[in-house]
Amino acid sequence: MMPKPSHILSLLLLAFWLTGCQQNSNRTTASSDFQTYSAEAFFKTTTVFGSSINHDQTAVLVSSDETGIFNAYRVPLDGSAKVQLTHSDTESINAYSWFPKDDRILYGADQGGNELDHLYVRNLDGTVVDLTPGENLKAGLLGWHEGDQSFFVFNNQRDPKFFDVYLYQVADYSHQMVYQNDSGHQLEDISSNGRWLAVSKNNSNADSDLFLIDLHSEDKKPMMVAGNDPRDVAHSVYTFTPDNRQLIYGSNAMGEFNQAMAYDIHTKSHQVSFQADWDVSFMYFSKNGQYRVTGINQDAQTILGITNTTDGNAVELPDLPAGDLRGVNFSDDASRMVFYLNSDTSPSNLYTYELGTNAVIRLTNNGNPQIREEHLVAGEVRRFQSFDGLEIPGILYKPRQAANGPVPALIFIHGGPGGQSRFGYSALTQHLVNNGYAVFKINNRGSSGYGKTFFHLDDKKHGDHDLKDVVYNKKYLQSLDWVDDEKIGVMGGSYGGYLTMAAMAFTDEFKVGVNIFGVTNWVRTLKSIPPYWEAFRKSLYDELGDPETDEERLYNISPVFFGHQVKSPVLVVQGANDPRVLKIESDEMVDAIRQGGTYVDYLLFDDEGHGFSKKENRIAASNKYLAFLDTYLKQ
């Protein structure tokens, strides 16, 4: 089975990157064998995710945005045409799972991007039931019970700050609370037999403890699994083993990177389950335990391995098209698997494979056949030295137009602050590169994936040391003879949007800035975090600062108070329903820049939140990005 749907809210403000394209019709460059493409052409690419296989192994459940917004689809495993199961034209549908014994489905959806997801069931007759009705609550699927007659749900209806656990019955959706979360712990996972609940407690942004709660006991007292270390050690839950005897968890106690550990619930012993020279990102098993899937975050690329647990040997797959393996899932009897292949130049496509044979069937064609893959560009890892000699990694994309002379460049900053720019298909990146812009996706200090020391180098140094990394990234780009050293801009979303505005307000280094729902007022943001982030409030404050005690520093790094210092053109893009970066922040940032006399353009989507889920909005945003850059950076 795949890892359960994400029920742990991000500690940090993560950006959701979607595709982007240019506003003009397809055109040919000076090179007769190279073409640039319109927004409409790029957005014929379809994004698909999800890989739940139904009970009779005839279909897989996915979410697809082929209608312009994500809906749930039934994709037959024999390669025949998919069937649309939901028909939303307002809210994106996140398809979670089939029911174990029939073709009902569970899915989640919020309201206009407010991130207050409810859990829904689509019945066999097509009717839909909201399993978690109510105002201002957030809910989701925690897992299925191995008996196939019930499933576990979390929501914060009782207390907006904490998530409780409920057991729902398959037959009539009746339910009862099985765990009241008065301790404020963060829910992590539940064993398939319904006995063990794994929870965590963040002591700081560098130290966390793991606990197990016996749901069959009367007191349900948390029992420590990992913690109480005199050092700062971070732990995270990966999964329970299918026999419910072990909890597999990640720990960086052994060094810089997370390794997979196994905790025996009965003997209370620990041992290394899997280790690598990089972070072990995840581990999970097929339902019958025959196969184990591991993922390693190796230099911004996921290296996925499948092991047969009966003999310890790696599973050998037939020859496949080029790309990285993702989203592996198995049928209940593990005779069949589904997976995605993804690369920098090709979107994820879904395949099915009958194990032990050469029978591989491609189930989707998500690329636009009008776009030739050889016109797109694969990234490569590059590193440069920052102001203090620290080596900063990133991914560099060199446009084909660079063969004809120096090109403008963009430093692209990920969200977080603890996120990571990674390899994989991005229509946004490809459309910028296709239209002649070099893109360097910087993984500045504070990014995940490069060890715990690197991750914490920006703690309470935001807008300072990480901003200097961005400035030194510019110096690196200026050292490349194919980059126009007078035409370098900065662009990013969420925390990347913050660093973009910090670069424009606190330096004179960049010709333009594109701020996509970026934080601009840290004092307000940290005072107005959603109540359901309570479990990691302290970690957030350890990372960025407590607005009650660090208000002066937070004020001084907030670009909104220094808009008059912005001297070069800026584009601001915002969703009106964003619960993380409130619309008022972008409103005030735009006003502050205008009052200083500098040009600023503002694009607001009334029906989006923290990320743009509707294709028409992504096209509009992409048109705006390219028009702005062509006018103020390229010229």
Assess if residue 536 is contained within a domain: no
**Domain end point (choices 362, 382, 399):** 362
Q: How far is it, in rounded angstroms, from Cα 214 to Cα 191?
A: 10
Summarised one tens digit per residue, pLDDT across range 538-569 is 888 989 999 999 999 999 999 999 999 999 99
Give the pLDDT score at 458. 94
Strand order in the sheet with 291-298: 279-285, 291-298, 301-308
Domain span holding position 606: 373-521+558-634
pLDDT band at residue 579 under the 50/70/90 scheme = confident
Residues 346 and 495 in one domain: no
Least confident of 214-218, 257-261, 611-615: 611-615
**pLDDT at residue 19 above 70?**
no
**pLDDT at residue 21 above 70?**
no
Residue whose tokens read 């103020």? 632
Residues 405 and 456 in one domain: yes
Whether the link from the prior residue into 417 is cis, omega within 30° of 0, is yes
**pLDDT at residue 43 above 90?**
no
Residues 409 and 353 in one domain: no
- HSE of 514 in the Cβ direction (CA atoms, 13 Å)? 27
Question: Which phi-psi region, left, alpha or beta, contains residue 347 (left: φ > 0; alpha: ψ -120 to 50)?
Answer: beta
Assess if residue 332 is contained within a domain: yes
Give the pLDDT score at 2. 41
Residues 6 or more apart in contact with residue 93 via CB below 8 angstroms: 63, 70, 71, 72, 86, 107, 108, 109
Residues 312 and 396 in one domain: no
Q: 460, 480 in Cβ contact below 8 A?
A: no
Residues 357 and 377 in one domain: no
Assess if residue 27 is contained within a domain: no
Which long-range CB contacts under 8 A does 56-61 form with residues at least 24 apart? 57/331, 57/332, 57/333, 57/335, 57/336, 59/103, 60/329, 60/338, 60/350, 60/352, 60/363, 61/85, 61/95, 61/97, 61/98, 61/105
Summarised one tens digit per residue, pLDDT across range 134-187 is 999 999 999 999 999 999 999 999 999 999 999 999 999 999 999 999 988 999
Longest dimension (CA), the chain: 75
Residue whose tokens read 């197990």? 212
Q: 283, 294 in Cβ contact below 8 A?
A: yes
**Domain end point (choices 341, 362, 383):** 362
Specify the number of domains making up the chain. 2
Give the three-state DSSP class for 281. strand
Q: Which residue has the higher pLDDT, 263 or 45?
A: 263
Q: How far is it, in rounded angstroms, from Cα 159 to Cα 388?
A: 46
Q: The domain that contains 187 carries what CATH number?
A: 2.130.10.120
Residues 231 and 344 in one domain: yes
Assess if residue 15 is contained within a domain: no
Residue count of the chain: 635
Give the pLDDT score at 391. 98
Give the three-state DSSP class for 78. coil
Backbone angles phi, psi at 626, to 5 degrees: -70, -40
Distances (CA, A) of 471 to 387, 604, 605, 622, 634: 9, 28, 31, 25, 20
Give the pLDDT score at 583. 94
Give the pLDDT score at 474. 98
Give the pLDDT score at 38. 80
Residues 6 or more apart in contact with residue 50 via CB below 8 angstroms: 60, 61, 62, 63, 95, 96, 327
Considering the chain, what is the average pLDDT of its residues? Answer: 92
pTM: 0.92
**pLDDT at residue 413 above 60?**
yes
Give the pLDDT score at 615. 87
Q: 446, 457 in Cβ contact below 8 A?
A: yes
Q: 108, 130 in Cβ contact below 8 A?
A: no
Angle, helices 465-478/495-506, rounded to nearest 10 degrees: 80
Tokens of 67: 């209608």
Q: Which residue has the higher pLDDT, 11 or 507?
A: 507
**pLDDT at residue 118 above 90?**
yes
CB atoms inside a 10 Å sphere around CB 443? 26
Assess if residue 41 is contained within a domain: no
Assess if residue 237 is contained within a domain: yes
Residues 71 and 120 in one domain: yes
pLDDT band at residue 366 under the 50/70/90 scheme = very high
Summarised one tens digit per residue, pLDDT across range 229-285 is 889 999 999 999 999 999 999 999 999 999 999 999 999 999 999 999 999 999 999
Give the three-state DSSP class for 60. strand
Give the pLDDT score at 11. 31
Assess if residue 170 is contained within a domain: yes
Let me know the angle formed at the C-alpha of 233 by 228 and 239, rounded to the nearest 5 degrees. 95
Residues 482 and 380 in one domain: yes
Q: How far is it, in rounded angstroms, from Cα 152 to Cα 168?
A: 6
Q: How far is it, in rounded angstroms, from Cα 436 to Cα 31?
A: 13
Assess if residue 38 is contained within a domain: no
Residues 358 and 378 in one domain: no
Summarised one tens digit per residue, pLDDT across range 185-212 is 999 999 999 999 999 999 998 999 999 9
Residues 386 and 484 in one domain: yes
Strands 324-330 and 301-308: unpaired
Q: The domain that contains 405 carries what CATH number?
A: 3.40.50.1820
Residues 144 and 232 in one domain: yes
Backbone angles phi, psi at 476, to 5 degrees: -65, -45
DSSP string, 170-184: TTT--EEEEE---S-
Give the pLDDT score at 611. 86
Q: How far is it, in rounded angstroms, from Cα 276 to Cα 259?
A: 7
Summarised one tens digit per residue, pLDDT across range 277-315 is 999 999 999 999 999 999 999 999 999 999 999 999 999
**Domain end point (choices 313, 337, 362):** 362
Residues 255 and 403 in one domain: no
Q: How far is it, in rounded angstroms, from Cα 73 to Cα 70?
A: 9
Q: Region 351-380: what's the mean pLDDT?
A: 93
- Counting residues of the chain whose pLDDT is more than 70, the rounded percentage is 95
pLDDT band at residue 94 under the 50/70/90 scheme = very high
